[in-house]
Structure 1
Amino acid sequence: MRRLGRLLALPGLGLLAGGMLFFSAVMAPLVFTRLPLAIGGPFIRTAFPVLYLYCLITAGLSAFGYLLLGRGRAALVPGVTILGTLWSWFWLMPRLDAWRVAGNEAAFARGHDVSTWVFGLEVFLALLLLIREGAKKS
């Protein structure tokens, strides 16, 4: 089981952090700088369920791997990401869509800020753990 844990924990964490960084540093800025808002907005909204599913899978693999290794504290980072992703996907995203459709720009802006902070915290924690794990291996 330790072998499986090693196979899942760090690679899962690396895929999680890398995918989240790619989305936030490459995909979202590219969409909003190259496409008109009327096209970019709906396009990026269709990407969120894919991103959220990716985060759930990679964070789940990483958390499971850390648990198999008996490293419950390390499993907290992907665990927090799982909780944040589920909350964002199934609670916040429907509200953001409703506020956007209703033209409630203030509520949408606040909700978008919250979603950005949640995602940013998840990326930060994943990178912090990844760096910590890399430093231990050296």
Structure 2
Amino acid sequence: MTLLALLATALLFGGMVLYSFGFAAFLFSSLPAMQAGPLLRRAFPHFYLFVLVASVVAALCLLPDDMTGAALMGLVAATVIPTRQVLMPAINLATDTGRTRRFKALHTLSVGITLGHIGIAAWVLSRFI
């Protein structure tokens, strides 16, 4: 179970880092903003679903050996749900209605949450050493 916990946590960490710093940056450097934005918007629900599934799997695999790590992965899972279901639609609405200040504030919050999730996954990974 420890190997599965390690792999699930590493997958979560790597997937979040790649999406956040690779995929999004690649889109905006490869496509005009008018194309990159809508494409990224379509990808985000899948990203959050990936984070949810990977964090739940990691939490379940960590449960027998590392209650702290399991709780932290559970925290990621619990916080990604409102991020996906409430915050993401609010960001999209702010974009659609031209509310730039609101978009910036909500986007900053979503970036902070994602960075927090990445940090939590990194810390849980460090516990395997």
- The TM-score bracket by the shorter chain reads over 0.9
Q: Displacement, 1:49? A: 1.0
Please give the per-residue CA displacement for 1:37-89, whole angstroms capped at 9, x wherever unaligned.
1000000011111111111111111000111x142211122112112211110
Match of 1:47 in 2: 43
Residue 128 (1) aligns with residue 128 (2):
no
Q: Scaled by the length of structure 2, what TM-score is found?
A: 0.94
Q: Distance in 1 between matches of 2:123 and 2:33?
A: 33
Task: From the CA coordinates, give the structure whose radius of gyration is larger.
Answer: 1
Gapped regions of structure 2 (runs ≥ 5): none
Pick from 21, 26, 30: which aligns with 1:25? 21
Q: Scaled by the length of structure 1, what TM-score is found?
A: 0.88
Identity across matched positions, percent: 29
Please give the per-residue CA displacement for 1:68-124, whole angstroms capped at 9, x wherever unaligned.
x14221112211211221111001011111111111000001000000000001001
Match of 2:114 in 1: 119
Q: Which runs of 4+ in 1 moved over 2 A?
A: 5-8
Gapped regions of structure 1 (runs ≥ 5): none
Q: Distance in 1 between matches of 2:69 and 2:34?
A: 41
